[in-house]
Amino acid sequence: MSSAQSLSHLLRDALRTHAQAGLAALIGPFGEVSYAQLARHVDAAAAAAHAWGLRRGELVGVIARKTPESVATFFGLMQAGGCAGFMEPGLAMDAIAERMQSVGMQRLVVEHADDGAQLQKAIPGLQVIALEAMASEGAWIDDGLAPGDAAQILFTSGSTGKSKGVLQPHRGLLANARGVIAHTGITRNDRLLHVMPVHHTNGVNNQLIAPLLCGAQVVLIERFRAEDCVQQLRDYAPTYLTGVPTMYARMLPLLREGERFPSLRFLRCGSAPITSALQEQIEQAFGVELLVSYGLSEATCTSTMNPPGARRIGSIGTVLEGQVVRLFKPGTEEVVTEGEGEIRIGGDALMLGYIGTEAAQPIEHGWLLTGDLGRFDAEGYLSITGRIKDVIIRGGENLSPALIEGELSRHPAVAECCVVGMPHHDLGEVPVAFVVLDPSAPAVTSETLQDLIREKLARAYVPAEVKFLTTLPVNGVGKVDRKALRRGFEAAPQAA
């Protein structure tokens, strides 16, 4: 079969091409791993998996720190025909067991041999393999791998209820990587500072597969810490960094006044909404563009992104090469050519489907129903206008939390904010704002912020309450946890 038929074949060829050029693949506190070394480690892991009988499409979990060894093992499992998935670090063992059992996962690679003992008690017949056992001699690749074969399993962050397993095929991983590379112009001259978790789609698809295919260097950092990340920008001189809004917001106070990072070409931001005010603040502080993007695990990772040199604040960018994005009238198959509609994604990037859940499949008639509302401008830039399920319905009127958040974030005293709908005895729902104040700014009252919204937006948008917090709750990938905010404040506001 043609080497172009699976991501693993193309990646294997790419690693060898970059090895011949003498390039370094991974650098970090551990030292340096060349492309030649990485290629050997991936081959060895694939050979080990083949030796213990890995079947094509079989689900295999990986519980280990983000290291060159775990990265090589992950790609080796995929190269041997498996469907590999990093498990969320720090997750309770009973939660991990529940996820594995829900999808029928019977093999698990762990960092140390005894790490899986508790899981073996919970999951009958579970085979646990130590990471060091994946470093065997030899090489292997499943030559029968096809574009539609399962390559990666991800688990959605189920903050309430059970999480869902997302099956991503080889064609989706390849379509995503090609689109990202074409849109951002990544080459072997680039160096990525990798601080995102690898159990998240961005951490693998955009921050490992894409740069490794084109020969870039990846600075592999185990986990994000704001103070460490600023120093890593100084020490490793990356050309780009990908993060979520919360990460950048927490780095801002740690930058030296007027500090610049000459190597940086751009910053990337995705996985969660960002206000225009915060984007402007980040760009001013770092001195480079922040390229906001958009995508879902169910469509591999990224579907739209602002292009370098042509970013537009307030937009999630233009559609990536090879991706298909359309707007539909919610609840219908009617395409919206002007105005607002539900964002739907089609094409090769779509997942194979959910597994391990009774939740409805979100793909209908070849389109992924994102639940997000958006609008294209005349030049093809897409903007998020709201989310169908997050829309606050106040007395029959639909309110967008993003509009309120955008205005609040422009106040100099507001460091972070989130607006959610809270139950109301008369109006059904009313907006409530949760605000983190900037300690260096003059104090501000809830009434002042309510007056600000009253001046900028219609009366219905004025938050019934403004609650001040020291920090906003976030999930494992840095997204503000709106459900946690609702759960934490059960008393329904009575203001109209």
Per residue in 287-337, pLDDT (tens digit) is: 999 999 999 999 999 999 999 999 999 999 999 999 999 999 988 999 998
What does the pLDDT average to over 162-167? 87
Is the pLDDT at 272 greater than 80? The verdict is no
Q: What is the predicted pLDDT for the residue at 435? A: 97
Is the pLDDT at 494 greater than 60? The verdict is no
Q: What is the predicted pLDDT for the residue at 244? A: 87
Is the pLDDT at 157 greater than 80? The verdict is no
Task: Give the chain's domains with CATH numbers.
Answer: 1-389 (3.40.50.12780), 393-488 (3.30.300.30)
Q: Percent of the chain at pLDDT above 90?
A: 74
Q: What is the predicted pLDDT for the residue at 490? A: 53
Report which of 148, 139, 155, 157 is spatially closest to residue 175, judged by C-alpha positions: 148
Task: Please tell me the pTM assigned to this model.
Answer: 0.82
* Model confidence pLDDT, tens digit, residues 357-386: 888 899 999 999 999 999 999 999 999 887
Q: What is the predicted pLDDT for the residue at 288? A: 97
pLDDT band at 495 (very low <50, low <70, confident <90, very high): very low
Q: What is the predicted pLDDT for the residue at 162? A: 64
Q: What is the mean pLDDT of the chain?
A: 91
